[in-house]
A and B are shown apart, each in its own frame.
Chain A
Amino acid sequence: MDMTYQNANNTSFAGLILAAWIRKGARLLVLPALGLAWLACPSSPAAAENLEVRVNGLGYVQAGRIMHSSDSIDYNYNGNWFQKAAAQITAHAQINKNLEGALGIGARQAHKAQERLDAARRLQVGVEPYISEARFTYTRGDIEAPSLQITFGYFPYNYNPSVRNLGLYLLRGTVYPGFLFSGFETDETMPIANTLGARLHGATGPFQHDVILSSQTNVRPLFDYSLAYIGRYANSVFEIGAGVNFYRLIPIVPELTTPRDTTVFTERYSDSEILSKYDRNHLYIENTPTGPDTTRFTLKGTKLASFMSLDLKALTGQGAMGDKDLKLYSEVALIGVKSYKGIYDDILQRIPVMLGFNIPAFKLLDHLSLEVEWYGAPYRNDYQKLENEYSPIPVSNQNLQRVPETDSTGQLVISRGPGESYPYADPFDVENMVQDNWKWSLHGAKTIKNQIRISAQLANDHFRTGGSTNSDTFESAFSTLKDWYWMTKISYFF
């Protein structure tokens, strides 16, 4: 605004307060808070005496290597070594029989990918602090099987604990575009806070229900609230569940979530420069006999997911097997129920499916889980346009300076200067990717004396390195079935 002082609103003070209440977001915080206050108030002050505080700690060292990464045009991760060390401490306090809280912090030593030698020589190790938990939970009924539980704050949540790596589509990742996220022991699969907001959990016999209100803290636009419901039926052998996530249902800055302001969200290319439908940032324009038909997008969307698990030991008997052996589990999702013309018109390209199986480890390991995933999205799993332009459209070849040229043999190639060219085909053609449709992961872990855990993974998943010392990146390191990495970790905890 090109002005110095704005005039005060012509509303009364009470009107302003009312406006604050009504404005999006305000109620989200106030209502759960007041609800919890109501639940907490009946507790007598005496209940706060003799507070029981339990301190848990965790430390680990992790190392691994990318053995093959096919798309090395811009960033070459082949042979890159990864290493991390971390420590965290969390305190759990039982305030009374109904109210319990946890809070803790941690720090991890981490680094960018080494990438090419020129970037690797500038590598530095940094320390990132993080919050392991900051939440409190009200429980009604038996603490082991509560009929009602309300959690508020920053807390861990995983609706499908069978998953070791792939899956968890409902609460991980974006909708438009439908980018998947996974990796080695991410926050979603470990007891580390991954959800900021509130959780309402209820149980009736074998049925369980979760309502999750979460604030977006990972992918831009930040702070938007999503509302999810997950219901499940479980017995000792079989579990089945389903859920819906109204992703970014309540945007904090609607103009960011549904970008329409053309002065802020500009297009990178003029109409004459458009080579593909992915070149635009916020529009899809189809030329029809009656004139151009423009489709506009939003980052909002609705996800659906269902999941199941089946313990096959019910058929074979326990024998010498561990508790988790022979478990079969699966998840399928629809990422975005709404089809958008041109970009998201094929519903089958928005349905990821994963299948997992715990290979019998006969107690030599706690589990040995093989997971396989198929996802037919044709575009590259790279959210740079979303992060930088708030674009609901995937990256294009032109965005990555991969406009094809015809070489001396008549082949279409992507040229990177004299003597360096790549075939204009999958995986270098990022608009028609098929070789990354299949992902797999083999994860194993063993806990020793209840305080030491050794875990490892071989996988071709959605692991993102985060880029090199040259720049940040947002793409998955793996783009063909030949790609893979390994990672190991030794943890000490109490």
Chain B
Amino acid sequence: MEKRLYSMQSPAMKSELPLCKHRRMGRRTAAALAAAALMFPLHAGADTFDNLDVKFRGAGWFKSGMIMQSSDTVTGSVQNNYNGNWLQDAGALLTGVVNLSENFEGAFGVGAIQKHAAQGVLDQARFVKLGMNIFLTQSRFTWFPEGKQDFNHKVTLGWFPYKYDHNIKNLGLYLIRGPVYPGILFSGFESKEMLNTANMLGGHVQNKFGPYTQDLLLSSEVDLKPLFDFSFLYVGTLKLGSAFEIGGGANFYHYLPVRPGLTSPSEEKGFNPNVKEQGNFQEHPNDYLYAVPLDSAGTQFQWVTHKGIKVMGRFALDPKALFDGAGSLGPNDLKLYGEVGILGTKNYPGVYDKVAERMPMMLGFNLPAFGLLDNLSFEVEYYNSEVVPDYRKIVERSSAIPQTPYINRGPSNPEPYRVHADDWKWSLYFNKVMAGHVKLSGQLANDHFRTGGTAGFPSYEEAMTALYDWYWMLKLSYFF
């Protein structure tokens, strides 16, 4: 589908827009964006944008599934028992990709998902309502200095999708998902990182130098508090022939804070290190919000910041390339891939003591599907974390200290959350595209899926908390 756009802004207007925004932004933010903006040839004549075409991309889907086993059924007075919970959503999205010129491309679009809270126990299930979430699929423009055809360099600004490892179907992507302190992981069935839906707000420069590709990103935080802080990411990928690929990267998470006091609380910024969450069933060092005590007398404190450095290494191996021909195997079959991350290179005594407890690792393998499926991917993950995978304190208190393992506990259920019962995660994902535009996909997994809580009681905890927990999900999509 092609449609012509006629009402474009004048070159003068285009030049003025960034200047207007500069006045409202922090100096560092403005400087970063200005540097990126200067890379664009804004002097391009109006005729550059004549006769542009728009291609519409869209998708609609219906998804259903069920949580078959969820071990941790305790949430204090409210029983968020997800066992047997039915999950369902339907959605549609529409994105226009605008071919502005040989060097410029823009994309914008919106989508809507019909969603609901988890059912929980019967007494909660009866309050479930259907709601509608609306979202931006993309809102970006991209500059290809040497043209789009077989490009080696591109610069993207706006709200755009980014993923450094396209082999991953569920687990992993540690560099771009989740906070550093506490090191909480995110995953789930076809999360936005797995689809061509925007997950980064900021800028992205990509350069290809033969077998080496580098990605430099400046990303604004829009999911977790403190909001709007900027992070710098660098990701490098080296292809060694068609069989092997290695990569690595670093994320300087929240290194450009918008409100430094929120990102790195301190006494000078007006925070009291003694502030604790009230009402927990048992005392625990993680009751504190901004600092943890270093001695029993409570005279010395270790302040904890949201800032942190993540590093990541990854590989992918396609053994088919080592042999002559793939036979009846599909193009993705037999691929082996893996990733390891360090969530925070710095130790904080008393709360983040060992780097080994902040190292998630995953391994994936595409089982042979012989063309019957496009992908049949089994992934497994190990993360020896001491952290309760619940980010409520980040959202509600902007705290970088993990949740106490006594969260939601009471005298009748005194056993703390078993932080090592969920060290292993796994996922079996499949998809098949039919007639070029219909996709059937599904997943059985014990991953970091979060339901969001039951009606009236939002939550931030994972639904799968022990090795034998799992759920399934099926999705039928139509796309063009």
Residues of A within 8 A of B (CB): 1-6, 8-9, 16-17, 19-20, 23, 25-26, 28-30, 33-34, 36-37, 40-41, 43, 45, 47-49, 51-55, 89, 91, 93, 95-96, 99, 101-105, 107, 128-136, 152-154, 196, 215, 217, 220-223, 252-253, 255-256, 261, 263-265, 390
Contact = CB atoms under 8 A, between A and B. Distances in A.
Interface stretch (B91-99, B219-227, B291-299): B91-99
Interface string B293-329: 0000000000000000000000000000000000000
Given A36-B476, A196-B90, A53 B132 contact: no
Given A105-B111, A129-B134, A25 B435 contact: no
B436 interface: yes
15 contacts: A3-B73, A4-B409, A5-B415, A6-B83, A16-B69, A26-B66, A51-B437, A51-B480, A93-B58, A103-B59, A105-B94, A131-B91, A154-B60, A154-B114, A256-B125
Interface of B: 1, 3, 56, 58-62, 64, 66, 68-69, 71-74, 79, 81, 83-84, 86, 88, 90-94, 110-112, 114, 116, 119, 121-123, 125-126, 128-130, 132-134, 409, 412-413, 415, 418, 421, 432, 434-438, 440, 444, 466, 468, 470, 472, 474, 476, 478, 480
B51 to A, nearest CB: 19
Nearest to B471: A20
A20 B471 CA distance: 9
Contacts of A95: 435-438, 480
A8 B465 CA distance: 12
B132 to A, nearest CB: 5
A151 B375 CA distance: 26
Contacts of B468: 8-9
A67 B424 CA distance: 64
Residue among A5, A20, A89, A153 facing the most chain B CB atoms (10 A cut-off): A5
A379 B435 CA distance: 52
B92 A136 contact: no
Given A4-B415, A130-B112, A220-B126, A153 B476 contact: yes
Contacts of A19: 68
A95 B436 CA distance: 8
A53 B480 contact: yes
A256 B132 contact: no
A136 B62 CA distance: 11
Contacts of A104: 58, 92, 94
A80 to B, nearest CB: 25
Nearest to A152: B476
A93 B435 CA distance: 13
Contacts of A36: 438, 476
Contacts of A255: 122, 125
A377 B59 CA distance: 44
A40 B438 contact: yes
A222 B480 CA distance: 30
A4 B61 contact: no
B474 A29 contact: yes
